[in-house]
Amino acid sequence: MEIRAVGALLRRFRLLTWAFPLYERYVAFDSKVRKRHAEFNENRANDLPLPPPHMIMKVAGTPEPLFYFQGGELAAESIVAILSRHDIEIQNLGAILDFGCGCGRVLRQWRHLDAVEIHGTDYNQALTKWCSRNLPFARIANNRLVPPTGYPDNRFDFVYALSVLTHLAEPLQLTWMNEFRRILRPSGVLFLSLHGDSYLPSLNEQERAIFLKGQAVTRFERSEGTNLCCAFHPESFVRKVLAKDFDVIDYVPEGATGNPHQDVWLLRKR
């Protein structure tokens, strides 16, 4: 059966939490995918290593190496671009954190920022282990699904979370926002990518009604932290609830070019 058809069936019949990891594994162990990985690795012999397909699947929703590389580059470009629009040059920052770094899709893009402390953390231990072994320029940590992290107060100039709050239910999103505020220095900046208006067509009628009332929508709340759990964020919810203790510096609908079609929010700690 076609990979896409298996995915569609699982979603349609909501075969839930236990089946989703099996589906991710199944997709990643497809022989054609593994062949493309081998070819990609041969051609990129001098670059940082490529994570195995099942890890790429976990962070990108597809095991394809091209998406991992190109998407990572685009994501880093979108971060650099929005920061510089606000006169922040990433190479001049002291310490930055990739929250929910996965297997380093974006983290690896900072390998040439010699003067910046590069940190990554994720709650998935297999992914952080891979990063620790393969991205030696970065300081990698492991956190739990719920805060806090082990970082001291005011530790970072910049924290970004690409497609991470999109996989948590609202109460946990809010506690993580408090933790980001704690570990950012005063006036430090937070970059979030979220599922906004562009996802409206993929919501069912009931979800759409909630979204249009300005409330966050979450699917599969009991699978928080996995890609099965999916959260959607109307603009007014972000402004009034999620980012209430931050100043909104910028909002770019569908601006997360490495995580299509997510919105970008740039927030400053008060």
Question: Binding segment for ligand SAM among 2-10, 78-86, 123-131, 196-204 (CB under 6 A)?
Answer: 123-131
Omega prior to 112 cis, within 30 of 0: no
Closest among 152, 51, 180 to 107, alpha carbons compared: 51
CB 115 within 8 A of CB 62: no
**Residue of the chain from 109, 173, 223, 227 that contacts ligand SAM (CB under 6 A):** 227
| Residue 72 parent element (H or E) | helix 65-85
d(CA 56, CA 49): 12
Binding of ligand SAM by 190 (CB under 6 A)? no
Paired strand residues for 247:
268
Paired strand residues for 217:
232
**Residue of the chain from 29, 40, 67, 123 that contacts ligand SAM (CB under 6 A):** 123
Question: Binding segment for ligand SAM among 9-17, 110-118, 121-129, 247-255 (CB under 6 A)?
Answer: 121-129
Paired strand residues for 50:
none
Contact code string over 61-100 relative to ligand SAM, x by CB under 6 A: ---------------------------------------x
**In the complex, what is the shortest distance from the CB of residue 229 to ligand SAM, in angstroms, rounded to a whole number?**
9
Contact code string over 127-146 relative to ligand SAM, x by CB under 6 A: x---------------x-x-
d(CA 2, CA 239): 41
Binding of ligand SAM by 234 (CB under 6 A)? no
**Residue of the chain from 57, 164, 192, 217 that contacts ligand SAM (CB under 6 A):** 164
Binding of ligand SAM by 263 (CB under 6 A)? no
CB 129 within 8 A of CB 101: no
Block residue for tokens 């058809």: 5
Q: Which residues bind ligand SAM (CB under 6 A)?
A: 59, 100-102, 105-106, 122-124, 127, 143, 145, 162-164, 167-168, 225, 227, 259
